[in-house]
Structure 1
Amino acid sequence: MRVGIVCPYSFDAPGGVQFHVRDLAEELIDRGHEVSVLAPAEESTPVPSYVVPAGRTVPIPYNGAVARLNFGPVVAARARRWVEQGAFDVLHLHEPVLPSLSMLALWAAEGPVVGTFHSSMDRSRGLQAISPVVAPMLQKLAARIAVSDEARRTLVQHLGGDAVVVPNGVYVDRFGIAEPSAAWRGTQERPTVAFLGRLDEPRKGLPILAAAVQDVLREVPGARFLIAGGGDAEEERELLTRHGDAVQFLGRISEEKKRSLFASVDVYVAPQTGGESFGIVLVEAMSGGALVVASGIPAFRAVLDEGRCGHLFRTGDPADLARVLVRALTDRAATADVRVRARHRVRRYDWSTVASQVLAVYDTVLDTERATVQDDLATRAVAGLLRSARRTGRGD
């Protein structure tokens, strides 16, 4: 099968959707399919051989973060040319309603098209405003995928229609076999807690964690907090550095170091306040063996099976976060069963399972397309016979 995948977000600053597109493409290639990915990226940006760079992007505030998108006539021409030359059996567009590459590819598309929706939000005046414009265009989608129930709810609420839920994927075993780092490994006396996310995006929750650290250290004086991620957060840095060597800022870390981090720490904390449709980092942490403590936003509750596979705290409440963290760090017996359940649950998110679900959507779309073509041929044949019979009856 020849598959074209479009990523709306820039590979210059990769995030969750870009990693999803990359991993899906590589899993499909490993299974023998031909894959081409069209994505925003500078010509000088290192990208995999299957990625076609679509040029530089513009940073745009979106859903509590900054999305790097590209649009315009030059990009539209590139997208059209890529679609035409690709002759894809299936075109798979991610976030097709964003004013970016996926929307441009949708305009140019002619054959079977699948759309995946990643975003989750309660209210969006922007989506409501463009709904009358994009709704007819979305009729070109032969199938819709949502990465979670939250993403599906956002789609239904703001744009109408429905979608099948296929979650984000993780290479679970890559995290499971990662080598722990002696510098990050927790001990009974000095357990470690990790945070990973953009430091300057308030919705990632670093201010909530920063406000909880002192209460945790009061009960667990040896605890260490490892803060990973890019961005400036001067106020939080100033607050956290007061705790001396109990807090360490790691900066941006590579994928390899991320896997090592999750294999090393006792607890991964996810204090996000909203705007998350799934929680892929929770699955990665569980795959690496870390116990997850997360805010009770709907997406995280779903991944953690309502607290059976991790601990939940009241969203936005530093005192409750501190209470749950202290319990997680001190009551190891109470967390043993949670870790076992988490280890089993992550298998459903492994790419071996997720890619098969995506391929099942492709097959359904192609089967429907073939059936439609056959129906059209049959209809034309019957119509031709009827016309011939009428001519015969008239003696033509």
Structure 2
Amino acid sequence: MGRPNTMPLSVLLLAMEYTPDVAGGVGTYVYELATGLARAGCSVTVLAYTPGEPAVLREPNLTVHLVPPSRASLSRAGRLSLVQGIRAFNEDLLVHARELVREQRPDLIHFHQWHTARAARRLGRAVDVPVLGTSHYISEPAERWWGQTPDPEILEEERHLYDGSTPIVSVSASMSQLIRDTYGMPESLLHTIHCAMDARPNLQPAHPPETYARLRATVAAPDERVVLYTGRLHPQKGISALFAAAERVLAERPATRFLLAGGTDSRESTQMVQALSRRYAPLLGRVKLLGKLPRPQLGLLHRIADVAVVPSIYEPFGYTAIEQMASGLPLVATRSGGPAEIVVPGETGLLVPVRPSDHGDLREVDVESLAAAQLSLLEDPVRARRMGEAGQRRVVEHFSLEKMIAANLAVYRALLGAPPPHHVSARQEAVS
């Protein structure tokens, strides 16, 4: 017999990230999901990785346990691959989780990405509660599109994640299709729920107009327009196309400033940015690399920019897109993955193509289209402002936190009211 829909649920969330301060999209999602479920009356416990000291954060209906690797895991870290290290941390996570469930048995366990799937599945079997995962990213085939070869160990974890033994939430229809096409996961076990956020801090300016005017004056002259990029500086994000398009924009409209807020996350990405800086050295007076900034400073940049650009070769969802839209910015984004489901072309922004290249699996952003789309909005501020206002309405209507929470709760209720999707085999028990 299923649990009555009126009863509040007890939910255990397992993740490698909590809050955007750790890395990015997954941390943002888990934070928004946890706080949203707590506001909806659920009793929520989060177990998440921290590289620092252990900590417990408490809010009404929400307890967050930040768990560092054990001494045993740290002592072996130098001999382990990335995936082996994450598997070792799953053992640490499982020890903490077993202690917690002795005090309060959750109604279900919700893990995020393959990184915590093994701990979640083992714990679910041990305490006999349903387990659900959310997939925020897929390596195969997406990484090949920007010239990266997927890690074979990560592909093994993805095959395990999408083996049909656990229902999965995907953050976009595009990624759901990739999961079905690549791993053959049954459609009945795959749920698409767009990411969302509490947009209230973005919808209204946090400071008086004079504050934004002073800040804008530090980066642009009164007659100049500002194009903003926020996110990692990584080949996935279309950074090469961003520089190439900026060169074309500046050739036609020199009174433009480009602000790039974000950092690199690998030696290869750093080398890419250095090479682009050398190649486009004449632009660097107009293209400013600001580095990685805290979220409050990003919010300030949203208010002084005229156009935001999301030039990703592929984006599973794209939190930055809805953050910028919520702040009233019109978007120029690629028609690839999540942004194509977020932006309404001609209404909240403009979409540009990503096309197969002549080199293997690589894909390329259409640079001419990317430049032309930016120019069309920079030269028509009235249209750009109208798109920004429409984007705010779209975020409120389609990407509100309440909508995401309701969708997840519907999946939870269905899972609690139905038998497991199928029997987990002995082989699956062994690899978990």
Indicate how the Cα distance of structure 1 residues 77 and 47 shifts in structure 2: closer, same or farther if over 3 A, else same. closer
How far apart, CA to CA, are the structure 1 residues paired with 2:196 and 2:85?
23
- Find the counterpart in structure 2 of residue 105 from structure 1: 120
Opposite residue 108 of structure 1, the aligned amino acid is L
Which of residues 142, 153, 169 in structure 1 aligns to 2:196?
169
Q: Which residue of 2 aligns with 1:114?
A: 132
Shift of 1:298: 3.4
Q: 2:381 aligns with which of 332, 338, 363?
A: 332
Question: 5 Å matches for 1:14-163?
Answer: 14-44=23-53, 48-49=57-58, 50-56=63-69, 70-72=86-88, 73-95=91-113, 98=114, 100-109=115-124, 110-120=128-138, 123=141, 126=152, 138-139=164-165, 141=166, 143-157=167-181, 158-162=183-187, 163=190
Instruction: Report if the CA contact (8 A) 1:208-1:318 is conserved.
Output: yes
Using the alignment, how far apart are the partners of 1:175 and 1:342 within structure 2? Answer: 12
**Equivalent pair of 2:198/2:401 in contact (CA under 8 Å):** yes
CA 1:48/1:236 → structure 2, altered by over 3 Å: closer, same or farther? farther
Farther-moved stretch of structure 1 (203-212 vs 308-317): 308-317
Alpha-carbon spacing, 1:179–1:222, altered in 2? closer, same or farther (3 Å): farther
User: 1:318-367: CA deviations, max 9, x gaps?
Assistant: 23222211111002344454334322211210102211221222223233
Would you say 1:356 and 2:356 are equivalent positions? no
Deviations 1:16-68 (A, max 9, x none): 01110011111222233221111121243777443222324979xxxxxx999
Aligned AA (1:111): V
Could you list the per-position Cα deviations for residues 88-138 of structure 1 after superposition, in whole angstroms to 9, with x for gaps in the alignment?
Answer: 11211112xx2x3232221221202222222245627857756775566x5
Q: Equivalent residue for 2:370?
A: 321
- The verdict on how the C-alpha distance between 1:169 and 1:68 changes in structure 2, with shifts beyond 3 A counting, is farther
Hey, what's the Cα distance between the residues in 2 that align with 1:34 and 1:213? Answer: 48
2:344 aligned with 1:305: yes
Q: Percentage identity across aligned positions?
A: 23
CA RMSD in angstroms, aligned pairs only: 3.2
Does 1:236 find its partner at 2:276?
yes
Deviations 1:142-191 (A, max 9, x none): x4322110221133231512222211012222111133633247777211
> Looking at CA atoms only, which structure, 1 or 2, has the larger radius of gyration?
1
C-alpha distance in 1 between matches for 2:288 and 2:12: 42
Distance in 2, matches of 1:85 and 1:103, equals 22
Equivalent residues, number:
357
CA distance in 2, matches of 1:68, 1:14: 20
More divergent stretch after superposition (324-333 vs 298-307): 298-307
Give CA deviations for 1:211-247 in whole Å, capped at 9, x if unaligned. 2222211222111111101123212233455335422
Alpha-carbon distance in structure 1 between the residues aligned to 2:159 and 2:312:
32
Deviates more, 1:149-158 or 1:9-18: 9-18
- TM-score with structure 1 length normalisation? 0.79
Q: In the alignment, what sits opposite 1:381?
A: none
Alpha-carbon distance between aligned partners in 2 of 1:344 and 1:263, rounded to the nearest angstrom: 17
Q: Is the 8 A contact 2:16 2:49 kept in 1?
A: yes
Provide the TM-score with structure 2 as the length reference: 0.73
- Pick from 257, 262, 271: which aligns with 2:311? 271
Q: 2:117, 2:252 → 1: CA distance?
A: 50
User: Quick one: which of 190, 197, 201 aligns to 2:231?
Assistant: 197
Q: Secondary structure at the match of 1:242?
A: helix
Question: Which range moved further: 300-309 or 147-156?
Answer: 300-309
- Whether the aligned pair in 2 keeps the contact of 1:38 and 1:54 (CA below 8 Å) is yes
2:53 maps to amino acid: S
Q: Deviations over 1:273-325 (max 9, x none)?
A: 12x21122111111001110112213221111355421122332323222211
Separation in 2 of the partners of 1:10 and 1:165?
Answer: 21
Offset at residue 260 of structure 1 (A)? 2.0
